[in-house]
């Protein structure tokens, strides 16, 4: 079925998503497979990137004679007009770049991989500068939750009728079935400008959206709150309750009316904190930066990693070394590839993921506090573009993280009255959580200190909630082309 769909795409073409957008797909000539993460340059400081399925979208209102340049590691670059893309029926075929390793080193000495790494580090300050820059950005976050085990069990109930207990257990079981049978995923997009002045940053946001199904919005806290709501609804709704969980006691009074009021307040907000969006963007951008003890500088630490020169290719008319790396000491965690230009020794592409049996932070208090956690996924991709000032700026940053979690807690609702009636329940939840963060730089410019000081950062930004994918929301704007799972969201 997968091969049929690809065949159908290649030979019938990709139609524009709407009257205002032009959507096309990049295909490898020989294998006919999609080409992901190719850069599509629409101007000196603007452009987009193909997604994991090889698709990209441009503004169809642009004149047909306007040209774009498509570049991808391992493939020959191609320049096309909008008219050319339409004539090709929205399917663009790229030729694989010839491997020139033997030709290059026929008469010259093959460089030492350690000397290449040393030159990358030595030239990093000159090749990469992010200070006093304004980046036009589009950021997408995709969050997944996969529950492997979920269980609620009432241990003790005083002053609760048998019929009520049966109803509580029925509702809790229904909640369990709903959660276990659901695929929890939601998407957050925003577009704005990110400003950098040394360690100080600011963010302005033009538009933000959330694509989610409220009925399937299951996080650990959300599951706990929904179970709590069910329990409260079967107690005396005129009373308030304290909650005791394990050795902790929550002194704030709780009631069903308060819970419903809180839910209404949360649904009415529909705003993002600009500070939170800024910090998340800043954290992601740091993966692409070179400074003492940064992520990239650690990957270039010859005490931690072993390197192998695997290939030489041409990328954007530059000779590029393909270097694989993996840990040489237990402290190192990643393996992947570095793509380094000959001449200025700049990294233009990095991919990374946890090496075998490596993991991030880990906590096992399963028997003491009923909590276990392990970060078992960390991978990503960095792509840079050379600018007119000869610096290399990030074009696309992707980071995926994931964790295993286990939480087992007992909850006791204690009535605030002289009788102090109680209802106790055990709550166990286990599963995997995953998040994919993508940052696309659609344009940039150099600014001065006065420009930076003049920027006012708001505290909140409203967002539009969508329950079904709508391709007109980001119409005529340079963004990341959504994957099929996003396009299919909310469609029965």
Per-residue DSSP letters for 365-384? ETTTTSEEEEEEEEEEEEEE
pLDDT at residue 12 above 70? no
Per residue in 374-424, pLDDT (tens digit) is 999 999 999 999 988 899 999 999 999 999 988 887 878 788 887 777 778
Q: φ, ψ for residue 274 (rounded to 5)?
A: -60, -35
Per DSSP bridges, beta strands 67-71 and 78-81 are antiparallel
Per-residue pLDDT averaged across 50-56, rounded? Answer: 94
Q: Which two tokens stand for residue 64?
A: 């047909």
Intra-chain end-to-end CA distance of the chain, in Å: 20
pLDDT tier, 7 (very low <50, low <70, confident <90, very high otherwise): very low
Q: How many CB atoms lie within 10 A of CB 138?
A: 21
State the Cα–Cα distance between residues 33 and 37, nearest whole angstrom: 13
**Cross-strand pairs, 382:** 350, 397
State the Cα–Cα distance between residues 391 and 384, nearest whole angstrom: 10
Per residue in 200-220, pLDDT (tens digit) is 999 999 999 999 876 666 666
State the Cα–Cα distance between residues 337 and 294, nearest whole angstrom: 17
State the Cα–Cα distance between residues 223 and 93, nearest whole angstrom: 47
Q: What pLDDT score does 14 carry? A: 46
Q: What pLDDT score does 317 carry? A: 77
Provide the percentage of residues in the chain whose pLDDT is more than 70. Answer: 85
State the Cα–Cα distance between residues 340 and 322, nearest whole angstrom: 7
Closest CA to 364 of 328, 408, 417: 408
Higher pLDDT, 424 or 51: 51
Per-residue pLDDT averaged across 18-39, rounded? Answer: 85
Query: At what angle are helices 256-269 and 220-233 packed, to 10 degrees?
Result: 140
Q: What pLDDT score does 299 carry? A: 97
Q: Which domains does the chain have, with CATH numbers?
A: 2-97 (2.60.40.1120), 133-487 (no CATH)
| Kind plus residue range of the DSSP H or E element containing 86 | helix 82-87
Per DSSP bridges, beta strands 67-71 and 39-43 are antiparallel
264 CA to centre of own chain: 29
89-103, 286-300, 383-397, 418-432: least confidently modelled range: 89-103
Name the range with the highest mean pLDDT among 67-76, 189-198, 328-337. Answer: 189-198
Per residue in 161-181, pLDDT (tens digit) is 777 778 888 888 888 888 777
Closest CA to 314 of 95, 75, 152, 92: 75
The residue written with tokens 């709590």 in the block is 228
pLDDT tier, 263 (very low <50, low <70, confident <90, very high otherwise): low
pLDDT tier, 319 (very low <50, low <70, confident <90, very high otherwise): confident
Q: What pLDDT score does 478 carry? A: 82
Per-residue pLDDT averaged across 143-152, rounded? Answer: 86
pLDDT tier, 456 (very low <50, low <70, confident <90, very high otherwise): very high
User: What does pLDDT average to over the chain?
Assistant: 84
pLDDT at residue 127 above 90? yes
pLDDT tier, 241 (very low <50, low <70, confident <90, very high otherwise): confident
| Radius of gyration in angstroms for the set of CA atoms belonging to the chain, rounded to a whole number | 27
pLDDT at residue 82 above 70? yes
């Amino acid at each position: 079925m997968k091969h049929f769909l690809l065949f159908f795409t290649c030979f019938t073409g990709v139609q524009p998503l709407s009257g205002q957008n032009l959507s096309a797909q990049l295909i490898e000539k020989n294998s006919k497979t999609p080409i992901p993460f190719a850069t599509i340059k629409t101007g000196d400081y603007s452009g987009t990137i193909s997604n994991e399925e090889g698709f990209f979208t441009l503004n169809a209102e642009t004149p047909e004679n306007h040209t774009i340049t498509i570049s991808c590691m391992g493939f020959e670059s191609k320049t096309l007009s909008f008219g050319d893309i339409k004539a090709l029926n929205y399917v663009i075929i790229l030729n694989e770049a010839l491997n020139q390793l033997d030709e290059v080193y026929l008469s010259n000495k093959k460089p030492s991989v350690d000397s290449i790494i040393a030159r990358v580090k030595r030239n990093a300050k000159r090749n990469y500068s992010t200070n006093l820059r304004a980046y036009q950005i589009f950021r997408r976050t995709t969050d997944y939750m996969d529950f492997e085990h979920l269980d609620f069990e009432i241990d003790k109930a005083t002053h609760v009728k048998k019929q009520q207990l049966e109803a509580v257990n029925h509702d809790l079981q229904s909640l369990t079935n709903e959660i276990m049978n659901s695929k929890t995923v939601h998407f957050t997009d925003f577009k704005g400008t990110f400003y950098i002045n040394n360690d100080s940053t600011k963010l302005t946001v033009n538009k933000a959206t959330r694509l989610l199904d409220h009925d399937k919005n299951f996080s650990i806290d959300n599951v706990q709150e929904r179970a709590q709501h069910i329990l409260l609804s079967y107690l005396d709704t005129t009373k308030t309750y304290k909650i005791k969980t394990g050795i902790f006691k929550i002194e704030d009074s709780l009631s069903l009316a308060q819970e419903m009021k809180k839910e209404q307040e949360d649904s009415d907000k529909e705003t993002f904190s600009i500070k939170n969006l800024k910090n998340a963007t800043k954290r992601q951008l740091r993966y692409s930066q070179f400074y003492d003890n940064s992520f990239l500088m650690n990957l270039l630490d010859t005490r931690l990693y072993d390197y192998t020169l695997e290939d030489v290719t041409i990328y954007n008319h530059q000779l590029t070394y393909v270097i694989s790396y993996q840990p040489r000491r237990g402290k190192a965690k990643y393996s992947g590839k570095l793509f380094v230009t000959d001449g200025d020794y700049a990294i233009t592409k990095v991919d990374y993921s946890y090496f075998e049996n490596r993991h991030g932070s880990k906590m096992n208090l399963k028997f003491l506090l009923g909590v276990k956690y392990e970060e078992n996924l960390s991978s990503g991709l960095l792509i840079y573009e050379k600018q007119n000032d000869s610096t290399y700026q990030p074009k696309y940053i992707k980071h995926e993280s994931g964790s295993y979690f286990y939480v087992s807690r007992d909850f006791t609702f204690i009535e605030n009255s002289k009788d102090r009636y109680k209802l106790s329940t055990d709550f166990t939840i286990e599963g995997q959580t995953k998040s994919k963060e993508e940052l696309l730089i659609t344009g940039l410019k150099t600014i001065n200190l006065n420009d930076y000081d003049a920027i006012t950062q708001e505290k909140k930004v409203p967002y539009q909630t969508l329950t079904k994918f709508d391709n007109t929301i980001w119409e005529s704007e340079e963004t990341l082309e959504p994957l099929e799972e996003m396009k299919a969201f909310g469609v029965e």
